[in-house]
Structure 1
């Protein structure tokens, strides 16, 4: 469940353009990484039920 929350926060931060992924300076990379964590969280929730 924490993956979903963190994924959404990272996705929104990346899409806002005000934050970037450490080491890359890219907000798009942050949004992509957030989306990947969000997707993984959803997969985990679906597998449990």
Structure 2
């Protein structure tokens, strides 16, 4: 019984890892978007000057 349970529990950490990696990717994309919006705002400010 215990062996079957441990085998069933094995794939879970892999799923957790992939979800964590997805979160990291989303965070990276959000950071990139923020940097782009900052650059765009700076460019607009330069144009307005």
- TM-score, reference length from structure 2: 0.48
TM-score (norm. length: structure 1): 0.48
More relative contact order, 1 or 2 (CA 8 Å, 6+ apart): 1
- Higher helix content, 1 or 2: 2
